């Protein structure tokens, strides 16, 4: 049961017909792992904590630097030099002491992904590189966990949900990340944000939408983003949705899968 303090804290959720008391209880029971405590992970962690997600895990191997503070709003100037997972945990605790926090200091790897994912109900990927995105999506397939994943460029961003371990209403397997993006771009073709730059508020928009999609997945309202890629163009302030489906030739859950485990990831 929610305590009187929690009832007041989450009152604006509870009066929503689509959430209500049962939805808030579902949020309280949920365990969500956030990959990355940077530009995308910062709003994800803050809004999931504010929403009352019972357990939040965060994995990151970086420390807070001054150039992070233009967009990574969970950290502040006094946190410079501090491990991002520690800084994020402190901010979450200040925001909502009802949330349990699990910090995982280090990188997501092929060795730790499956045991780590098995401890959570849903994975939110806010990483900043293709290797981690492909690893997290493949690991979610083998761990049978839903994945909500976002990415940003200089003035654009994308968001989608992957449930490749399940089948859709048509009986076909749900699409994988590899159905959408069969191969990562060649190394060096996509510059890092330290070289190309990134609009701070755009990262906040995509991170907030990532948090919203996680909440929708937990509570179970609305039309999810499985098989749909939401694209944001900050220059034109335009939102578009691309539908994509299962590719039977994909190597993960296609008709002749070649990816049997995570050994292909460095």
- In sequence order, the 6+-apart residues with CB closer than 8 A to the CB of 63 are 81, 82, 83, 84
Question: What integer pLDDT is reported at residue 196 of this predicted model?
Answer: 76
How many alpha carbons lie under 13 Å from residue 33 in its C-beta half-sphere? 25
**CA atoms of 117 and 32, how far apart (whole Å):** 9
pLDDT value of residue 86 = 98
pLDDT of residue 187: 74
Task: Tell me how far apart the alpha carbons of residues 242 and 185 are, in angstroms, rounded to a whole number.
Answer: 20
Report pLDDT digits (tens) over 120-167: 999 999 998 999 999 999 999 999 999 999 999 999 999 999 999 999
% residues pLDDT > 90 (the chain): 91
Contact at 8 Å (CB) between 128 and 193?
yes
**Spatial distance between the Cα atoms of 48 and 46, rounded to a whole number of angstroms:** 6
Domain-wise residue ranges, the chain = 11-243
Q: What is the pLDDT of residues 170-185, one digit of tens each?
A: 899 999 999 999 988 7
Q: Is the pLDDT of residue 242 over 90?
A: yes
Centroid of chain to Cα 12: 24
Tens of pLDDT, residue by residue over 25-82, are 999 999 999 999 999 999 999 999 999 999 999 999 999 999 999 999 999 999 999 9
Q: Which helix (H) or strand (E) holds 86?
A: helix 84-95
Q: What percent of the chain has pLDDT over 70?
A: 97
Q: Output 266 or 113, whichever has higher pLDDT.
A: 113
Question: Of the CATH numbers 3.30.930.10, 3.40.50.300, 3.30.70.100, 3.40.50.720, which one belongs to the domain with range 11-243?
Answer: 3.40.50.720
pLDDT of residue 1: 86
């Amino acid at each position: 049961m929610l305590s009187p303090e929690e009832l007041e804290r989450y009152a604006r959720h509870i009066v929503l017909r689509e959430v209500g008391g049962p939805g808030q209880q579902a949020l309280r029971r949920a365990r969500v792992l956030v990959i990355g405590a940077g530009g995308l992970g910062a709003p994800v962690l803050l809004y999931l904590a504010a929403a009352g997600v019972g357990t939040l895990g965060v994995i990151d191997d970086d420390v807070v630097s001054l150039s992070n503070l233009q967009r990574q709003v969970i950290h502040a100037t006094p946190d410079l030099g501090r491990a991002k997972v520690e800084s994020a945990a402190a901010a979450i605790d200040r925001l909502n002491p009802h949330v349990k926090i699990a910090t995982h200091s280090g990188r997501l790897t092929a060795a730790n992904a499956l045991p780590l994912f098995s401890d959570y109900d849903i994975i939110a990927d806010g990483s900043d590189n293709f290797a981690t995105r492909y690893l997290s999506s493949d690991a979610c397939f083998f761990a049978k966990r839903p994945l909500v994943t976002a990415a940003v460029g200089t003035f654009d961003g994308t968001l989608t949900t992957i449930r490749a371990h399940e089948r859709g209403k048509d009986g076909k397997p749900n699409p994988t990340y590899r159905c959408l993006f069969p191969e990562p771009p060649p190394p060096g073709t996509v510059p890092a944000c330290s070289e190309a730059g990134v609009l701070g508020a755009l990262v906040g928009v995509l991170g907030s939408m990532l948090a919203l999609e996680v909440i929708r997945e937990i509570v179970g309202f609305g039309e999810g983003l499985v098989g749909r890629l939401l694209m944001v163009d900050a220059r034109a302030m335009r939102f578009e949705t691309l539908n994509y489906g299962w590719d039977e030739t994909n190597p993960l859950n296609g008709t002749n899968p070649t990816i049997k485990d995570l050994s292909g990831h460095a």
